Structure 1
Amino acid sequence: MHIAPFAVEQWMNEWETRVSLNLAETCIHSLTVGEMLALAGAPDAMDEVRELWLGYGEIPGSLRLRTAIAALHARQSPANVMVAHGTIGANHLVYQALVGVGDRVVSVVPSYQQHTSIPESLGADLVRVELDEASGWRLDMERLAEAVTPGTRLVALTNPNNPTGALLPAEELRAVVEIARVAGAWLLCDEVYRGLAPDSTPSVADLYEKGISTSGMSKAFALAGLRVGWIVAPEEVLRRVEIHRDYTTISVGRIDDLLAAVALEAAPAILGHGRDLLAANVARVAEWVAATPGWSWTAPAAGTTALLRYDLPLSSARLCERLATEASVLFTPGSAFGVEGTVRIGCGCAGDVLQAGLARVAEWSRTACEDSSTPVEPAHGERV
């Protein structure tokens, strides 16, 4: 099976260990085990870890963990939850279980590349519906309705959106649900950044009988190292997923399962910590954009990601390469999301890292702008 290279992951693999200031990371600054337990008010949890039997865990995830995940939703039970290796594993399993050759899949873009490349690799007929940058990365419901024709197999979106930080408010999310319902389509929503907005929108699993929500511990919960994600869906979907999951997963690690459950049982405290950090960092970036010539953005409505537009004669990949090698600051090229002329910034990193990184970018930009007549310079090996 052929699949396109995963542009974001390949970029991160190549560069993230080679810079001192990583502004490409999109998780809320990751917690230590001790920090998480302190926020959760569970200092005795390490006693549970010491006594934990290290056989295989429960195949769908422990009942304790699935109960905590279901509690993040309004209308779900543990029977509607399947645990996976990260949100990335959850998304992959959904596509494997539901999409095949010739199926029509409509994906709202820009998005995380899984939601385009995996269905294409499975032989699906992929239709992209683009968010409108001029209106603040809004979704045009008329265009979506035109794309989601009767018989469409699946509609995919990220909400909050990665990479733009746009958020579909509840009324617009319900409009998307109605479009999917009329067509009889499954609706897959990658909700890994959900919970970071002060007034979070509903989960599609709670809004639609064919709604499928995926998420995990990495982004909003600041615990990427646990590698725990999940699918919340009708039991019919989970039965199909389980067939594919048996070939790849068996179970997640029992220690990961336990620590994820402890964190999710204290979700308000963990998410509140992330919201506070994110609000301060978004304000820092907004102040920087206002003070730095040649840079602009649409501030994220939710989540940790946003696209910064720049006015320099460089492709986004080459700009990011030069910032990494000359300033030791890392962004993700907008070309990885099909949005050239931009870079993706992660607003969830430690505040001092963000501030220092932006200062270096501003200084580097002033130097680079001295010769504005330079032709567009491609990245090494890039075709333009």
Structure 2
Amino acid sequence: MKIDAFDVERWMDRYELQAKYNLGETCVASITIEELLEIAGKSKESLLAELLPMRMTYGAIKGSSHLRAGIARLYSNQTEDNILVTHGTIGANSLVYETIVCPGDHVIAVLPTYQQHQSIPKCYGAEVEFLHLRPENLFLPDLAELERKLRPNTKLIALNNPNNPTGSLMDEAFLRRIVDIAKKSGAYILCDEVYRGLNDVDQGTGFKKSFTTSIVDLYDKGISTASMSKTFSLAGLRLGWIASNLPEFLDSVVMHRDYNTISVGMLDDYFAAMALDAVDKVMARSLELTRKHRAILDEWVRQEPSVSYLRPAAARRPSSSSLSAASTRGISA
């Protein structure tokens, strides 16, 4: 199997650890284990009491019931049976494509987005057609263009919400219009929601006040992927998940996963469940950091005449993909 080089990952691997100022960091500032214990209200003694007797087996293959229940609470209409734990969102996305896409299928993918969503279906023999996100549309998909691109053999529409790298955000009404289009060919919608929860404006109460609606809560063939990495500041766990309404699809994913990862580590599962038990405090920290830093960026852009940008509605700071042509000249990171 031939696949394109994953350019951003190769670039980050080369420079990330040597950078004095890492402006390409993709996660809300990572939490230490000590900070996580404090957030969760857990003592070091109680932690050791639980970890030291733990036998390092494979653990729960689909993810522990404790963890999957915590993940399900991030959605509106999901239960733990709808959740399959994976090796990060990157593992979740790979498994979705491996399970669904076949040679000759047609896939529509927004662009810009995480490179997985174009390179993986392409390597499986699918025809990948891009739905370009343009600044004049606030980096939101052009729905008329999406409908024109849809074919009878369109197997999957790949979205990213909030978008990486632009920070654009599709609300529930917008997503419902995409669902209506997808239904015309029966296409799956895979929505990479790794930055979900970082909306700039609250739209409810509780820890989900900054969460946009998930595609899996809107469409029977909607598939949500996400992880503990970005919003929850725990990239070191390498723990993600797939949320789906289709038991037969999840069963097929498990069959494919048996050949690569089998399960996630027991320690990953343990600490992820701990963080989700304290999700209200974890989210309060994430929102405080992202909104404070976004305000700093806004002020800098306002005062810098050579730079302009479309202010992100969610997620992290924008990358160069969401800066104007004038913005990128003379700027290095």
TM-score, with structure 2 as normaliser: 0.92
1:228-307 equivalent positions in 2, closer than 5 A: 228-233=239-244, 234-306=246-318, 307=322
CA distance in 2, matches of 1:205, 1:289: 36
What is the aligned partner in structure 2 of residue 98 from structure 1?
100
Residue number in structure 2 paired with 1:8:
8
Per-residue CA distance 1:90-120 (angstroms, 9 max, x = gap)? 0000000000100010111110000000001
CA distance in 1, matches of 2:163, 2:317: 8
Match of 1:72 among 60, 74, 79: 74
Q: 1:138-153, aligned counterparts within 5 Å?
A: 138-153=140-155
* Aligned residue number for residue 162 of structure 2: 160
Residue 152 of structure 1 and its aligned partner are, at CA, apart by 1.1
Match for residue 130 of structure 1? 132
| Alignment equivalent of 1:224, drawn from 230, 235, 250 | 235
What is the one-letter code of the residue matched to 1:213? S
Q: Match for residue 19 of structure 1? A: 19
Partners of 1:313 and 1:12 in 2: CA distance: 19
Q: Quick one: which of 139, 164, 175 aligns to 1:173?
A: 175
Q: Choose the corresponding residue for 1:81, options 83, 95, 109.
A: 83
Query: Which one-letter code corresponds to 2:213 in the other structure?
Result: P
Q: 1:41 to 1:76 in 2, by over 3 A?
A: same
Q: After superposition, what is the alpha-carbon deviation per residue over 1:288-307, rounded to whole angstroms, capped at 9, x for unaligned?
A: 11112311111110111413
What CA distance in whole angstroms lies between the structure 1 residues aligned with 2:105 and 2:252?
A: 17
SS in 1 for 2:154: coil
Matched-pair contact (CA < 8 Å) for 1:103–1:153:
yes
| Aligned partners of 1:148 and 1:155 also within 8 Å | no
**By how many angstroms is 1:151 displaced?**
3.0
2:309–2:327 CA contact under 8 A, matched in 1: no
Q: Which runs of 5+ in 2 are unaligned?
A: 204-210
Structure of greater Rg? 1
CA contact (8 A) 2:308 2:327 kept: no
In structure 1, how many angstroms separate the alpha carbons of the residues matched to 2:285 and 2:76?
22
Residues 166 and 313 of structure 1: CA distance in aligned 2, closer, same or farther (over 3 Å): closer
Deviation at 1:224, TM superposition (A): 0.2
Q: Does 1:196 align with 2:194?
A: no
Amino acid of the structure 2 residue aligned with 1:104: H
Give how far 1:19 is off.
1.3
Check if 1:183 corresponds to 2:185. Answer: yes
- CA deviations over 1:128-174 (Å, ceiling 9, x no partner): 11112123212211111111223310000100000100000110011
For residue 50 of structure 1, report the CA deviation from its aligned partner: 2.4
Residue type matched to 1:171 in 2?
A
Unmatched segments (≥5 aa) in structure 1 = 324-329, 331-384
Give the Cα separation in 2 of the matches to 1:137 and 1:182.
Answer: 24
Superposition deviation, residue 46 in structure 1? 4.2
Contact 1:68 1:264 in 2 (8 A): yes
Q: How far off is 1:248 after superposition?
A: 0.7
State the partner residue of 2:208: none
- What percentage of residue pairs aligned between the two structures are identical? 45
Distance 1:256 1:243 in 2: 22
2:326 aligns with 311
Other structure's SS at 1:297 match: coil
**Matched-pair contact (CA < 8 Å) for 1:160–1:166:** yes
How many residues align? The count is: 318
Residue pair 1:111, 1:158 contacting (<8 A) in 2 also: yes
| Aligned counterparts of 2:167 and 2:300: Cα–Cα separation in 1 | 18
The answer to whether the aligner puts 1:208 opposite 2:223 as a matched pair is no
The CA deviation at 1:272 is 1.5
* SS of aligned partner of 1:17: helix
* Counterpart contact for 1:87–1:215, Cα < 8 Å: yes
Distance in 2 between residues matched to 1:46 and 1:208, nearest whole Å:
43
Contact 1:42 1:262 in 2 (8 A): no
Asked whether the 8 Å contact 2:132–2:141 carries over to 1, the reply is yes
- Structure 1 vs Structure 2 CA RMSD: 1.5
Asked whether the 8 Å contact 1:294–1:310 carries over to 2, the reply is: no
Contact 2:85–2:241, Cα closer than 8 Å, also in 1:
yes
Q: How does 1:41-60 map to 2 (within 5 A)?
A: 41-43=41-43, 44-60=46-62
